């Protein structure tokens, strides 16, 4: 926002900015209404998470190895075939189904991590190379699935972000607090949430994007714990076994 000229009021300055098509102070703080986005990047990410699960050894999977991927693939297929492909065309069924799918993948990933930690503590891990690749797969799944959670959470979800009067943001992106550093009327896409997830899983803390709501802070904290366990305990032990 430009600084108000002498003799003008903040309200007048805001009205002038809105009339010229520039984001107002509130829009910058809350994030401008999002343009239409495709759901396909998120769906492809979930498909990648399913593929990573299939690479895990049987010792890190609770129940039949095919069961969880088959359920996830069936849900993903239904979402892709029978719900909107653009974020401007939201359906309650789509969002409920995707959140259910995210919960399934999250639970399966945490169970696999718990089994891996148990094998390490019990001294039953034999192959350091297998452990290392399993840890990498679990960490990548951690990044993907929390990106889905962030994408579905922020400002009420991808469809709600289209509304001019959407709810308060759960994440503060740099583009929302530094006017002029990005394209006009910038709004986050799934890849932005994937980057937030990647940096949080790598640094074990927020980097350039800050969580604002209690839910966002809780999700980022949980992701950091999962990532920390994977990197420090599992990956380090696997490397030791390799030596």
Per-position DSSP letters for 124-175, written without gaps between them: ----HHHHHHHHHHHHHHHHHHHHHHHHHHGGGSTTGGGSTTPPPPSEE-HH
| Closest C-alpha to 187, from 216, 166, 202 | 166
Q: Quick one: pLDDT at residue 169? A: 87
For residue 210, the surrounding DSSP H or E stretch is strand 210-211
Q: Quick one: pLDDT at residue 12? A: 44
Q: Quick one: pLDDT at residue 134? A: 86
Q: What is the pLDDT along the chain (243 residues), one digit of tens a residue?
A: 444 444 444 344 444 444 555 555 555 556 677 778 888 999 999 999 999 999 888 888 888 888 888 988 998 888 888 877 777 777 788 888 889 889 989 999 999 988 888 887 776 665 667 778 888 899 999 999 999 999 999 988 888 887 777 778 899 998 887 766 767 777 889 999 999 999 999 988 888 899 999 999 999 999 999 998 888 777 667 666 656
Q: Quick one: pLDDT at residue 133? A: 84
| Closest C-alpha to 158, from 95, 215, 102 | 95
**What is the CB neighbour count within 10 angstroms for residue 180?**
7
Q: Quick one: pLDDT at residue 93? A: 83
Q: Quick one: pLDDT at residue 211? A: 93
Q: Quick one: pLDDT at residue 11? A: 41
């Amino acid at each position: 926002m430009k600084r108000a000229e002498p003799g003008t009021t903040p309200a007048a300055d805001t009205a002038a900015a809105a009339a010229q098509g520039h984001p107002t102070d509130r829009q910058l703080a809350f994030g401008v209404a999002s343009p239409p986005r495709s759901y396909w990047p998120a769906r492809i990410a979930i498909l990648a998470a399913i593929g990573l699960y299939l690479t895990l050894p049987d010792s890190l999977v609770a129940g039949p190895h095919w069961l969880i991927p088959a359920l996830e693939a069936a849900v993903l297929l239904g979402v892709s075939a029978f719900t909107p492909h653009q974020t401007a065309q939201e359906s309650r069924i789509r969002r409920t189904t995707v959140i259910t799918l995210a919960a399934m993948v999250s639970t399966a990933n945490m169970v696999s991590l718990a089994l891996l930690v148990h094998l390490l503590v019990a001294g039953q891990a034999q192959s350091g190379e297998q452990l290392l690749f399993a840890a990498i797969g679990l960490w990548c799944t951690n990044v993907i699935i929390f990106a889905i959670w962030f994408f579905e959470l922020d400002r009420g979800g991808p469809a709600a972000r289209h509304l001019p009067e959407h709810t308060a943001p759960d994440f503060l992106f740099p583009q929302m607090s530094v006017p002029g550093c990005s394209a006009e009327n910038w709004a986050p896409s799934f890849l932005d949430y994937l980057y937030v997830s990647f940096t949080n899983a790598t640094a074990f803390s927020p980097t350039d994007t800050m969580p604002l709501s209690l839910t966002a802070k809780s999700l980022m904290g949980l992701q950091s714990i999962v990532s920390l366990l994977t990197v420090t305990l599992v990956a380090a032990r696997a490397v030791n076994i390799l030596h």
